[in-house]
């Protein structure tokens, strides 16, 4: 046990941490605070609370950024992408782990090595594929691209997780008459739940917060993701700060709520992924 004595140094660190935390959250706080003000109030006293909070800015931001439409697009995109990533890479990661052959280690190496390729290096040729496959402005197409970019990491994680599952369980299923695919679906996949949860959460956040890929692929206003529509608002109405701040809060809310619910898994996913991977 660590000794629990309170020294001057301890209190100084406490104070520094609290000041640091206030500074850390200052941008979020300023955005929230000023999103309820009128333009006039914002410029006369940017630091104070408003006496008459109004939701008018939120209504304006909601309509201008077509919030309902873009949030639906983003949910659809993230949902589809993550489903694809989980389905495709769980079975592949399992098969790669259970098959001991040169081919299997070559395939795994290929998947793993390509994680090093920076996205900005492939975005130009990727755009050509998008055009030639008529995927421009297609959210479904975009989700397949996310799957293509995301499977490497997920396969790597599944592969590592399957190693820890006793093979006897699968043999028993085979004795009971399951074929390979049935064994996977009914016996193995349920056992992968912890790693699946991690993969779902990290990939939802990745797709949700990704900006550059949708920026290239989606140009139709009706297909905009939340970030794309937030971005246009900034370009078009760059003097309407109260409206912009409301829009920023509106687009931050879903992830903050998500964080509130899955905080433990998110933080655990990071440290597990980094130190065990």
Partner 1 sequence: MKTKKLKKNVNLLLFCLPAFIVYALFKLYPAVSGVYYSMTDWNGLSRAFQFVGLANFTKLFSDDTFWHSVAFTAEYVLALVVFANVLALLLAVAIESRHHFRGTFRTLFYMPNMISMVIGGYMWMFIYTKVLYYLADNWGWKFLDHSWTGDPRYSFWSILTVSCWGVVGYLMIIYIAGLQGVPNDLKEAAELDGANGWQRFWNVTVPMIRPALTICIFWTLNSGFQVFDVIYTLTGGGPGDATQSVAINIYEEAFKGNTRFGYATAKSTVLFIIVTLVTLLQLTLMRRQEDEL
Give the nearest distance from C-beta 69 to partner 1 in angstroms: 18
116: CB partners within 8 A, 6+ apart: none
Nearer to partner 1, 172 or 270 (CB): 270
Pick between residue 107 and residue 165 the one whose CB is nearest to partner 1.
Answer: 107
Between 63 and 121, CB nearer to partner 1: 121
Question: What does R_g of the chain's alpha carbons equal in angstroms?
Answer: 24
Least CB distance from residue 271 to partner 1, whole Å?
A: 3
| Residue 223 vs 248, nearer CB to partner 1 | 248
What's the min distance (Å) between Cβ of 68 and partner 1? 18
* Helix intervals (H) in the chain: 8-35, 39-44, 56-64, 67-98, 102-113, 119-132, 139-162, 168-175, 180-182, 189-191, 193-209, 212-217, 226-236, 241-276
* Closest among 182, 164, 201, 193 to 276, alpha carbons compared: 164
3 state DSSP class of 99: coil
Closest CA to 252 of 209, 189, 199: 209
Closest separation between CB of residue 49 and partner 1, Å?
A: 15
The string over 54-79, giving b where at least 16 C-beta atoms fall within 10 Å of a residue's C-beta and e elsewhere, is: eeebbebbbebbbbeebbebbebbbe
Please give the Cα distance from 231 to 215 (Å, whole number).
Answer: 10
CB of 56 to partner 1, least distance (A): 19
CB count within 10 Å of CB 195 equals: 23
Please give the Cα distance from 277 to 273 (Å, whole number): 5
Residue 115 CB, shortest distance to partner 1, in Å, is 9
Query: Nearer to partner 1 by C-beta: 169 or 256?
Result: 256
C-beta closer to partner 1: residue 72 or 259 = 259
In the complex with partner 1, the residue whose CB is nearer, 87 or 172, is 87
CB of 177 to partner 1, least distance (A): 17
Which SS3 state, helix, strand or coil, does residue 39 take? helix
Residue 55 beta carbon to partner 1: minimum distance, rounded to whole angstroms? 19
Whose Cβ is closer to partner 1: residue 21's or residue 59's?
A: 21
- Contact between residue 160 and residue 277 where contact means Cβ atoms under 8 Å apart: yes
């Amino acid at each position: 046990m660590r000794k629990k004595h309170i020294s001057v140094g301890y209190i100084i660190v406490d104070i520094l941490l609290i000041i640091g935390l206030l500074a850390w959250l200052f941008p979020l706080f300023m955005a929230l605070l000023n999103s309820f003000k009128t333009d006039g109030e914002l410029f006369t006293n940017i630091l104070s609370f408003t006496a008459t909070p109004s939701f008018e800015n939120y209504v304006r931001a909601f309509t201008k950024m077509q919030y309902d439409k873009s949030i639906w697009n983003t949910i659809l995109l993230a949902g589809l992408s993550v489903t694809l990533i989980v389905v495709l890479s769980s079975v592949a990661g399992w098969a790669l782990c259970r098959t001991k052959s040169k081919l299997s280690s070559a395939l795994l190496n290929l998947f793993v090595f390509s994680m090093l390729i920076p996205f900005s290096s492939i975005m130009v040729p990727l755009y050509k594929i998008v055009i030639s496959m008529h995927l421009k402005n297609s959210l479904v197409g975009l989700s397949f691209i996310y799957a293509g970019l995301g499977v490497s990491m997920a396969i790597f994680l599944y592969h590592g997780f399957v190693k820890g599952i006793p093979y006897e369980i699968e043999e028993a299923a085979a004795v009971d008459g399951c074929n390979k695919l049935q064994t996977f679906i009914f016996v193995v996949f349920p056992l992968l739940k912890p790693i699946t949860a991690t993969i779902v959460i990290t990939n939802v956040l990745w797709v949700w917060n990704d900006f550059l890929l949708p920026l290239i692929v989606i140009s139709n206003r009706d297909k905009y993701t939340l970030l794309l529509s937030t971005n246009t608002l900034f370009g078009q109405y760059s003097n309407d700060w109260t409206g912009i701040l409301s829009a920023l809060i509106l687009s931050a809310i879903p992830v903050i709520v998500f964080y509130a619910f899955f905080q433990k898994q998110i933080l655990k996913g990071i440290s597990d992924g980094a130190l065990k991977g």
